Amino acid sequence: MEIRNIAIIAHVDHGKTTLLDGILRQTGAVTAKEDGERIMDHNDLEKEKGITIKAKNTSVSYKGTRINVVDTPGHADFGGEVERVLATADSCLLLVDAFDGPMPQTRFVLGKSLQLGHKPILVINKVDRDGSRPSAVVDMTFDLFHDLGATDEQLDFPIIYASAKQGWAVQKLEDAPGTDLNPLLDLVLEHVPPVQAKVDSPLQFQVTSLDYNDYVGRIAVGKIYGGKLSRGMNVIQLAAKKEVKDEATIYKVTKLYNFEGLKRNEIEIAEAGDIVAIAGLPEVFIGDTICEPGKAAPMPAIEVEEPTVSMFFMVNNSPFAGKEGKFVTTRNIRERLDRELETNVAMRLEETEDKDRFKILGRGELHLSVLIETMRREGFELQVSRPEVIFKKGENGEKLEPYEYLVMDLPDQFTGSIIAELNRRKGELQLMDAHSTGMTRVEFEIPTRGIIGFRGFFISETKGEGVMSSRFLRFDTYKGEIAGRKNGALISMDSGETTAYALWKIQERGELLIGPGTSVYPGMIIGIHSRENDLEVNPVREKKLTNVRSSGADEAIRLIPPRRFSLEQNIEFLDDDELLEVTPQSLRLRKKLLDPNMRKRAGR
């Protein structure tokens, strides 16, 4: 059977996973029981956030050809996932929204694809959307190809128009709406080169992702670049970036799988060009090459771009430490972080002088917050610090910091306040384009420091109607200090359970983050002060009762509902002298120094 290997790449929310759902249905690769929305997004976080976090493999059969498909994330923070799997594909489907046009992550993923020599197929998705402008988007995408240095062959890309949600594609816009996705699959067979199998060469299998099964242990997923792989054969493992040793340990391939729809099928043999999964190597890692004994042929290590943001992960030392978590010790946290680094190629860990504190480097706030949320759900308890950007030294010793290209679509009436805030955060306006729909596109170059904590302001300022995304641009000259959070915090001065009476008095001073009946401790943040300074308050005070009764003496206690922060909002809110306590049940903001006298001393 002929094999084609393709990846689906796009900016977040442009419809990659929905299109793959349609392809799986069209080819009968999923049963009625497996069907649903975003079928390939398996884990709970992906379903809740509506985004793809991990790259995934599947395959479909169409007209006697097996098409291996890789679904990739579209969010910039998970760009490492795209980089590690893109080399397994021989071409890609580049999805672009017919309304939005090319966005920051479109440039990133397309650039990586063109570097690998792919000849992408352009899929203009959501042509059924109100306000769509497919012809203009095709021109914008052509300009993007040109800007990224595409060759003449790559510039001659085929175009197809689709509605992934409705499950149809057409080669000519005037034929819309279509009836099915067969025109897209026909285009794949026509333009994606069939795998040129190097069956006679020595075995070369490179690992691009890892999985785990309680019965067979660690499972390595990757592409066979040369030779044949069969169940029961002896192999050696060549670690990425390490020299080859003659006395390499010999392992036996205990299981060999290929992909079909949502299933893994056990097979006996696979040949060069196929994407498969193997078991039997207990210590295999991403980037390793699997070869035959005596025929070592290591492949180049998988390179990904450097992290730009760091956070400290610490053992919880608050007064409530150990009450809610299952895994709370330094050893527990260290083992979990080491396990994450095995599969998360864009993440790094740096040792610190304090053994209870780990510096984790990632691509952005979301990249790190997904790890924190996953650990929390697994029963871990820890504390995290405010995200900080990673600085570098230039050739002349000058201080360099990461810059991002920020693109926003927002209603016209909010552009003034958003631009003013970004100017305060050292951003430079690059483009402002008003659409006839009442939306304006605003593009900024801004230090990564300026984006940290901006998303919450953007969502509230635009009443949830704005959309923003950014991509890493470059390391450039340090822009100077950026003013931090405008508002101070309301800090508990006592421990106990909060009372409605105390909170009723406190809410005049700012916005509450907790309600009555919540356990608090001294130094815990319970609200946002209406002024710039921090204010200590007593949220556990009870009303003094007397024997005197009189009608009308008691005022009715009316509490404004507290503002509940998500994990990402808590991380955005953090200031330099604050931490976030994360447990399976609670998220608590607190000061690093719980003692008020020590805080005053440190402030001086």
Q: How many CA atoms lie within 13 A of 282 on its CB side?
A: 3
Q: Is 27 annotated as a binding residue?
A: no
Q: Is 130 annotated as a binding residue?
A: no
Residues 134, 145, 347, 39: is their CA dihedral positive or negative? positive
Q: Are 524 and 587 in contact (CB under 8 A)?
A: no
Q: Is 15 annotated as a binding residue?
A: yes
Q: Which of 303-312, 323-332, 432-441 is modeled with the greatest confidence?
A: 323-332
Q: Is 16 annotated as a binding residue?
A: yes
**Strand 159-163 and strand 121-125: pairing?**
parallel
Which pLDDT value is given to residue 209? 84
pLDDT digits (tens, 9 = 90+) for 71-84: 888 777 777 778 87
Q: Is 392 annotated as a binding residue?
A: no
Which pLDDT value is given to residue 60? 87
Which structural domains are found in the chain, ordered by start?
2-191 (3.40.50.300), 204-291 (2.40.30.10), 399-477 (3.30.70.240), 489-544+557-575+587-603 (2.40.50.250)
CA separation for the pair 570, 381 (Å, rounded) = 16
Residue listed under structure tokens 């299981």: 255
Q: Is 119 annotated as a binding residue?
A: no
pLDDT digits (tens, 9 = 90+) for 536-592: 999 999 887 766 665 555 567 888 999 999 898 899 888 888 999 999 999 999 999
**526: pLDDT confidence band, cut at 50, 70 and 90?**
very high
The whole-angstrom distance between residue 336's C-alpha and the CA centroid of its chain comes to 19
Contacting residues for 384 by C-beta, under 8 A, at least 6 apart: 311, 312, 313, 314, 368, 372, 571, 579, 580, 582
Q: Comparing C-alpha atoms, which of 596, 581, 396 is closest to residue 491?
A: 596
Q: Comparing C-alpha atoms, which of 535, 518, 524, 527 is closest to residue 494?
A: 524
Q: Are 56 and 74 in contact (CB under 8 A)?
A: no
Lowest mean pLDDT among 50-54, 322-326, 416-420, 519-523: 50-54
**43: pLDDT confidence band, cut at 50, 70 and 90?**
low
Q: Comparing C-alpha atoms, which of 216, 228, 360, 386 is closest to residue 292?
A: 228
DSSP 527-566: EEESSSS-EEE-TT--PPP-S---TT-SPP--PPPPPPP-
CA separation for the pair 298, 207 (Å, rounded) = 12
Q: Side chain identity at 443, as an amino acid letter?
A: E
DSSP 228-269: EEETT-EEEEE-TTS---TTPPEEE--EEEEEETTEEEE-SE
**530: pLDDT confidence band, cut at 50, 70 and 90?**
very high
In the chain, % of residues over pLDDT 70: 94
pLDDT digits (tens, 9 = 90+) for 153-189: 989 999 999 998 888 899 888 887 888 899 899 999 9
Q: Side chain identity at 289, as an amino acid letter?
A: T
Encoded tokens for 24? 């799986």
Q: Is 126 annotated as a binding residue?
A: yes
Rg of the Cα trace of the chain? 27
pTM here is 0.82
Q: Strand, coil or helix: what is 466?
A: coil
Q: Is 17 annotated as a binding residue?
A: yes
